[in-house]
Amino acid sequence: MSQQIFWNGKFSKADYFYGTKANEFLASKIKLIKNKKKLLCLGEGEGRNAIFFAKNGFEVSAIDTSDVGLSKLELRSKEENLNVKTFCMDLNHWETSEKYDVIVASYLHMFKEEREKLFRKIEDSLNPNAYFIAEFFSTKQLDFTSGGPKDLELLYTIEDFKNHFLSCKKELKEELVTLNEGIGHQGEACVIRVVIQKL
């Protein structure tokens, strides 16, 4: 099954599978990036983070493999009189031609062997002093029923980030949190939170 078919299936199940509120961790970093302008959301799905950052004055672009998810984002941005650029593609096919002040992601499900290339693209796409801020499911999430993949190859460890972004300043934390994000993420979860700044 292709990534697009998988995610279109999920996003067709509910009005907003992961709700309409931005990921709590990403939203909590708004002060850190308040002087930044150009922001990219990776694996943005139905657009909850993109809408939040656009409302806070950022120039937002969003990439996702699901045309169903991005249609919901486009509808919401039109309703709220916001301008969000959308790009429907698998992140493995993302060509890094632009630079950003901030790149964000919540729960990117990328296979282990795909990450090195993706992380390099993220680092290459950051302006000097720009940030990559993201939340991922830890490999320990297999012990919880709050959402996320049940495949170890799609889950992350702190080492995944320690071994990449070598020219960057990094804050990496594995934490237990309580998720309340639509019907997709509910309950206690083990996540990895990253704040990476390109020097």
Which residue is listed with tokens 């120039």? 59
- Neighbour tally for 188: CB within 10 Å: 13
| Residue 36 token pair | 């930044």
Mean pLDDT of the chain: 97
**Does position 1 have pLDDT exceeding 90, yes or no?**
no
Sheet holding 59-64, edge to edge: 84-88, 59-64, 38-42, 100-106, 126-137, 185-198, 168-181
**SS percent in the chain: helix, strand, coil, step 5:** 30, 35, 35
Residues of the chain above pLDDT 90, percent: 96
The band of 32, judged by pLDDT with boundaries at 50, 70 and 90, is very high
**pLDDT (mean) for 131-141:** 98
Residues of the chain above pLDDT 70, percent: 100
The structural domains of the chain, ordered by start, are 3-198 (3.40.50.150)
Q: How confident is the model over 140-183, as pLDDT tens digits?
A: 999 999 999 999 999 999 999 999 999 899 999 999 999 999 99
